[in-house]
């Protein structure tokens, strides 16, 4: 009878969203900013809910959402994903990673013309291919074709290559607010990335729904006050965009 009582209590907690597990797909560095603050606040308020994180590219995450092996994914962009719902929650600035002695470190803001003739490096590991496409798109109007090298390394090793003078790369604001030996980060002019939550409308996991509600509430609060949660943990500012829910 004691075991039955404990089981009943546990099932009730899961049904209310007080316990259980949320499987979260992440696409870029958590770093500091909206996503890190969301995880911190949710974890503090819901210590009995276990959070499992999975790194990967957007297509992998969406496939896992459809199969039910992920509850939610946080990805860049606002792409249409069939059989899923997408809601844009925040935006982050784009930064260029520079060796600490690079001439561009003298600038407060770097333009696309400043890096148009530079050697640029990206990773073959997500989000490297997306950064490659972003560079091509933004530099297409310059007079010369950008020189971009691709390396089959992870994010940390790619940044190490930048520190060694092997080229420049772009990073999200979540990466730029962290310290990395031998590197300086400068914001790119007129460069932001939208970030969205993606999930399956068939998912009725109460713990996941609690996380989604908190994410929406934080986005709404930051939008109404025009202050990002990132300011509470580290500069620079992360501007939040309009929240938009769409059925996919």
Q: How far is CA 40 from CA 22, 35, 179, 217, in A?
A: 14, 9, 20, 15
Indicate the angle between helix axes 34-45 and 206-225, nearest 10 degrees.
Answer: 130
d(CA 73, CA 101): 37
- Right CATH for 2-91+193-247 from 3.40.50.720, 3.90.660.10, 3.40.980.10, 3.40.190.10: 3.40.190.10
- 19 Cβ neighbours under 8 A, 6+ residues apart: 10, 13, 48, 49, 207
Q: pLDDT tens digits for 99-150?
A: 999 999 999 999 999 998 899 999 988 778 888 888 888 887 666 677 899 9
Average pLDDT, the chain: 83
**Residue 248: is its pLDDT beyond 60?**
no
pLDDT band at 1 (very low <50, low <70, confident <90, very high): low
Tell which residue, 68, 66, 39, has the closest CA to residue 51: 39
Contact 221, 90 (CB under 8 A): no
pLDDT of residue 31: 64
Q: Is the pTM value of this prediction over 0.85?
A: no
Running DSSP on this structure, what letter comes out for residue 116? T
Query: What pLDDT, on the 0 to 100 scale, is given for residue 244?
Result: 41
Please state which architecture CATH assigns to domain 93-192: 3-Layer(aba) Sandwich (3.40)
Inform me whether the pLDDT recorded for 155 exceeds 80: yes
Query: Would you list the domain boundaries of the chain?
Result: 2-91+193-247, 93-192
User: Could you report how far apart the first and last alpha carbons of the chain are, in Å?
Assistant: 46
Closest to 33 (Cα-Cα) out of 155, 169, 178, 183: 178
Residues 215-242, mean pLDDT to the nearest whole number? 60
Q: How far apart are the C-alpha atoms of 156 and 191, rounded to whole Å?
A: 22
pLDDT, one tens digit per residue, over 35-57 is 999 999 999 999 999 999 998 88
Domains 2-91+193-247 and 93-192 share a fold: yes
Residue among 192, 195, 216, 191 nearest 77 (CA)? 195
Place of tokens 């420049």: 168
Residue with the larger pLDDT of the pair 29 and 137 = 137
Lowest average pLDDT, out of 74-78, 129-133, 160-164, 182-186, goes to 129-133
The runs of H, that is alpha helices, within 46-127 are 58-67, 112-115
Cα–Cα distances (Å) from 232 to 6, 117, 144, 221, in that order, read 40, 37, 41, 14
More confident residue, 223 or 96: 96
Residues found in the chain = 248
């Amino acid at each position: 009878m004691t075991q039955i009582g404990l089981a009943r209590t546990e099932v009730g907690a899961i049904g209310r969203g007080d316990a259980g597990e949320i499987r979260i797909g992440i696409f870029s560095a958590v770093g500091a900013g909206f996503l890190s603050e969301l995880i911190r606040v949710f974890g503090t308020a819901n210590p009995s809910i276990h959070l499992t994180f999975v790194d990967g590219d957007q297509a992998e995450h969406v496939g896992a959402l459809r199969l039910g092996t992920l509850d939610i994914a946080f990805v860049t962009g606002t792409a249409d994903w069939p059989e899923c719902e997408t809601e844009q929650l925040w935006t982050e600035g784009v930064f260029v990673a520079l060796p600490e002695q690079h001439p561009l470190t003298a600038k407060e803001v770097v333009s696309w013309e400043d890096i148009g003739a530079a050697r640029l490096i990206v990773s073959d590991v997500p989000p490297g291919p997306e950064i490659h496409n972003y560079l091509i798109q933004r530099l297409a109007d310059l007079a010369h074709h950008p020189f971009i090298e691709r390396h089959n390394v992870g994010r940390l090793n790619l940044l190490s290559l930048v520190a060694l003078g092997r080229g420049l790369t772009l990073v999200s604001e979540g990466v730029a607010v962290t310290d990395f030996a031998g590197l300086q980060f400068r914001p790119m002019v007129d460069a932001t990335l939208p970030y969205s939550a993606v999930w399956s409308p068939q998912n009725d996991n109460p713990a996941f729904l609690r996380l989604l509600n908190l994410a929406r509430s934080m986005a709404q609060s930051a939008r109404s006050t025009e202050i990002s949660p990132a300011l509470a943990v580290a500069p620079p500012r992360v501007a939040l965009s309009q929240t938009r829910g769409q059925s996919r």
